Each structure stands twice: as C-alpha cells, then as structure tokens.
Amino acid sequence: MPIYNMPFPTLLIDPAFEVLEMSNSARQLFGDIHYFSDILDEGSFTKQQRLLSISPGATIEMALDTLDEKHVLFAIGIVWEKEKGFLQCFEIGPKMERILHQVLEHQDRLASIDFELLAQKELAETQLTKIKELSAPVILLTKNVAFVPLFGVIDHDMIHQTKSRLSQELYDQQVVSIIFDFNGVHEITESGVRELLDVIEIVRVMGLVPYITGIKPQHAKLLANRDLDLGTVIPSLQEALRILM
C-alpha cells in the first residue's frame, strides 16, 4: 500500500506497532525505523496503546525523537484499516515562530502534490477513503486556538466524512477559535462549499469563532459571486497566528 508521497510524515503500522512502510517525509524526519517505539520518547510510551482505539481525525500529543532533535512534540493521528494503521505525525511547538515554521513546511509539502494523481496512481478507492478520514485533523496551537489544515479536493464526501468527528473534537478540546487553512487545497466543488458552510455554522452555534486562511485565487473565484458567510477571512496563516496568539 504505497504511501511514499504523503505530504505529512506517515507510517503504515500493524497492531504491534511494527513499521510496514514509511512516507519519504517520514524517512527524512526519523530515518529508517522498524517499530514506532524506536522513536518514542520514554515519557510517551504509556500513550502508545491509546493509538489502537483512537477515533479517526483525533490526535494524541506525543514526544518523538527525530534525526535532528530529541523530545520533539507531535500531534499523532491514525486510521485503522484491516489490522493496518495509517499513522500521521504533525509537529507542534510551544512558540508561535516554531508553529508557523512547521505549518508552512507542511503547506509546502501539500502544495507539491497533485492529490488526484496520487489517488489514481497509488491508492485504491478504499485506501483513498481512509486517507480522507485523516483530512482536517484538529491540532491544538494553544489551549484556546485550534488549527485545521485542509488538503486535496474539498468535496461533499471529504467534508461529510469529517463533519461529526470535527465538531466532537472541537467540543472535547474546549477551544475558543479555530483556523481553517486552505493552503493545501487544490480544488473546491459546489457540494464541498455547501458542506463546509454547514461545518462553519455548527462551529458558530457551538460558540467558537471561525477564521479562514490561505484562500487562493481559484478558490476566491468560486466563492466571490456567492453570498457566503465563511467567518473572518485572513489573507495569510502568518497573520492569523499573530492575531490569535
């Protein structure tokens, strides 16, 4: 099951946490590893078993050892499919500058991949569905601010698959503001826009303040002629982080 070109560091593991495959970005970050525990910080060992039952899209903060630095904090998300888990690592940090650097690095990876080509050449339909379930992870930047990077094609299925999970995650985390980032989005469909508006309305009803960043010219063209209330649109993620943090 090829995962080599996944934009975020991704591992394919079994229930014993043996690493079956690694994305290129994961290999560059961690080197060649045989078990997920090989890179686990001692203080995070007790959290490893929780990955066997975590819901799709949810994340667990764990400290991992990279090739360049030890005890680096990551948000870990995983989706299980027939005794195999797609495990993704989102690096996070305590300072705004570090967060910004890491998020922009992830965006560069996202921007370099044609997700439609990835779907056609590397993933069967069922596998692509599992990858979509990893879309829109909720990453805590502070106790009050959550970051949700969107990537690929924003269509009805992608948003619908993540809607319930996303709202539950935001409720559980008790955040105040949420940043939906579009830098990794290639395409937005009409049905995707409708579903996204539904998500934003749910967020508002829950008492959260939604912010939108990374709207590209092709996105703006689709949205400009519609009377849409997407929340507060901020041109860049950098500016959003400076305002909210």
Q: Is 70 exceeded by the pLDDT of residue 123? A: no
How far apart are alpha carbons 62 and 30 in whole angstroms?
Answer: 14
User: Token digits for 68?
Assistant: 């360049």
Summarize pLDDT for 34-67 with one digit per residue, the tens: 999 999 987 788 888 888 887 766 778 888 999 9
The pairing of strands 209-213 and 19-22 is unpaired
Q: Is domain 135-245 given the CATH code 3.90.78.10 in the classification? A: no
Summarize pLDDT for 199-208 with one digit per residue, the tens: 888 989 999 9
Predicted TM-score of the model (pTM): 0.57
The helices-and-strands tally (H runs, E runs) of the chain is 8, 10
The size of the chain, in residues, is 245
How far apart are alpha carbons 121 and 155 in whole angstroms?
Answer: 20
Q: Measured in whole angstroms, how far is the alpha carbon of residue 242 from the centre of its chain?
A: 21
Cα R_g (the chain), whole angstroms: 17
How far apart are alpha carbons 104 and 214 in whole angstroms?
Answer: 11
Question: pLDDT exceeding 90 applies to what percent of the chain?
Answer: 14
What pLDDT score does 32 carry?
94
Query: Residue 88: which residues within 8 A CB-CB, separation 6 or more?
Result: 6, 8, 9, 10, 76, 77, 78, 134, 137
Summarize pLDDT for 24-33 with one digit per residue, the tens: 889 999 999 9
Q: Is 223 helix (H, G, I), strand (E, B) or coil?
A: helix
Average pLDDT, integer, range 163-169: 83
Q: Is 80 exceeded by the pLDDT of residue 120? A: no
More confident residue, 108 or 15: 15
Name the average pLDDT for the chain. Answer: 77
